[in-house]
Amino acid sequence: MLRRGCQEPTFERLGTWSSSRGKDAIEMFEAYGRRYYGSQKHEMEVFFARDENGGFAAKSIGITKPRQNGKSFAARDYCIWQAAVEGNSVLYSAHHGRTVRKMFKEMCDFIEAHEDFKAELDYIYKAGGYEGIYFKNGACIEFQTRTASGGRGGTYRILVLDEAQELTNAQMEAIIPTVSAAAELEDGAGEPQKIYIGTVPGPECSGTVFRDMHDRAHEGTTSVWWLEWGVQANGLDEVALDDVDNWYLANPAMGRRMSEATVRDELDTMSPDGFARERLGWWPPVALVVETGCIDADSWDALSIAKNAVPHEGAPSFAMKFSDDGLFGCIAACRKHADGRYHTEVITERTLECGINWFVEFALRREDTAGGIVIDGGGTADIVYKNLINHGMPKQMVIMSGTHDFTMACSLFVDSVLMGNMTHISQPGLDESAKNVRRRRIGKAGYGFDGINGADALPAETAALALWACEYIDWEPDDDLQIG
């Protein structure tokens, strides 16, 4: 018989409850074709736990599993049930925009694929950064990439905080008020519920909230309900990395979507502490050190300007950069102020699931008005470039950047920040990226960027290329265009 991963938490701290509709929800979703691991069924039972008054038995729940174990699967269906069935508004938040977009798409796909759910749908709003699913009963599921400046402005009954290992105190203080007054307490079910889902924080994580929850759960000094899959050990020397029993103990997906051969390869290619954290769910006894980037956060923030101060004269230059894995693309723009300083913004970051046509169309619409377009990012960039040239765009206007161009762009970007020679508007994705990049050596050509503390380098890299295009591409457009 095929061996399966352990479905019971290796450490768990729960309170008491009077009832749970978890099994009802599981039966309903299974009728639509969903299939749950035992661990996910257990999570659903805990999510739905209610006290004698019908309120949430657990006001806060923390779940930690190693990667690729379906840790957000049950929470996704719980969000749909809460909004569509019970009429509660939900905010789903994650650290990375990519995670938010993926979860939004998965929920939309499920709802639109089933007529009875679709019949309860009012509308879906798909604008980047403001995604939301709205139901006729007045409830909604809204989606947000976390920042330190606040939530969506709404009031929610359920708050799901994915990638919780990245959660900082500043972000917590900004987002928690959105669920502080979800309903009238006299209703018996007015208090909100918060669900934290994450992995063991690594040295790149700047968040401390999830770590504190873990420590207090093990100390028994918190009311947070905690479910943990992972090897329990005080030190790395106590973790038997090559013990196959530990692999099955920490990973519910073992024998289903994860094989012993895959884990063996991870063991052979990862560092010992990395394997212990990422695959065995081992929590080091002391929080690891957070890395610092090459751009000072205060210096970056000092260059932020209001939207009404953005320059509008002269032609903007644009950059398109594609991630190394070919899954995402980003567009940024740059224009000069009258005093010669640069101003740069990220226009969009998009998944390439539906192809590259959007990027091609964006550039073609600006053929007569842009001051130059630079494209970077392996094979995807080459395809976009060829499409533009085949559509008649002048070769002098659109440039495929080389390694030397890219390293020069990154250097120019850092220097412009340090010298105060650029401005930007407040954009959570670009702000996070710029404050959390370090230099990485690219052969003998110079330095590019790597993301640290869980940040994505792509927005900062694209903004740097837009700045480079503004400085070095000499192209005179026919008329003017607003940035974006």
Any idea which of 53-67, 165-179, 347-361, 376-390 has the lowest mean pLDDT?
165-179
| Contact partners, residue 69, CB within 8 Å, separation at least 6 | 5, 39, 229, 251, 252, 253, 258
d(CA 474, CA 406): 17
pLDDT at 482 over 60: no
d(CA 210, CA 196): 8
When pLDDT is averaged across residues 271-281 and rounded to a whole number, the result is 92
The predicted pLDDT at position 479 comes to 41
pLDDT at 202 over 60: yes
d(CA 370, CA 475): 8
* Selection from 294, 292, 310, 332 nearest residue 415 by Cα: 294
Tokens of 170: 């500043």
**Residue 78 backbone zone (phi > 0: left; psi -120 to 50: alpha; other: beta):** alpha
**Residue listed under structure tokens 């918190």:** 222
Pairing of strands 446-451, 437-442: antiparallel
The predicted-structure confidence for 320-352, as pLDDT tens digits, reads as follows 999 887 888 999 999 999 998 999 999 999 888
The predicted-structure confidence for 280-335, as pLDDT tens digits, reads as follows 999 988 655 556 688 988 899 999 999 899 998 888 999 999 988 788 899 999 99
When pLDDT is averaged across residues 451-471 and rounded to a whole number, the result is 90
3-state secondary structure of 5: coil
Strand runs (DSSP E) across 250-364, as ranges? Answer: 317-322, 328-336, 342-351
pTM score above 0.95? no
Tokens of 368: 């007569």
Kindly state the DSSP code that residue 315 receives in the 8-state scheme: P
Confidence of residue 178 (pLDDT cuts 50, 70, 90): low
CA angle 117, 119, 125 (to 5 degrees): 80
3-state secondary structure of 108: helix
When pLDDT is averaged across residues 429-450 and rounded to a whole number, the result is 85
The predicted-structure confidence for 236-247, as pLDDT tens digits, reads as follows 889 999 999 999
Compute φ and ψ for 459, nearest 5 degrees. -60, -45
For 377-380, the CB contacts below 8 A with 24+ separation are 377/320, 377/321, 377/322, 377/323, 377/324, 377/326, 377/329, 378/322, 378/324, 378/326, 379/326, 380/322, 380/326, 380/329, 380/352, 380/356
Residue 321 near residue 466, CB atoms below 8 Å: no
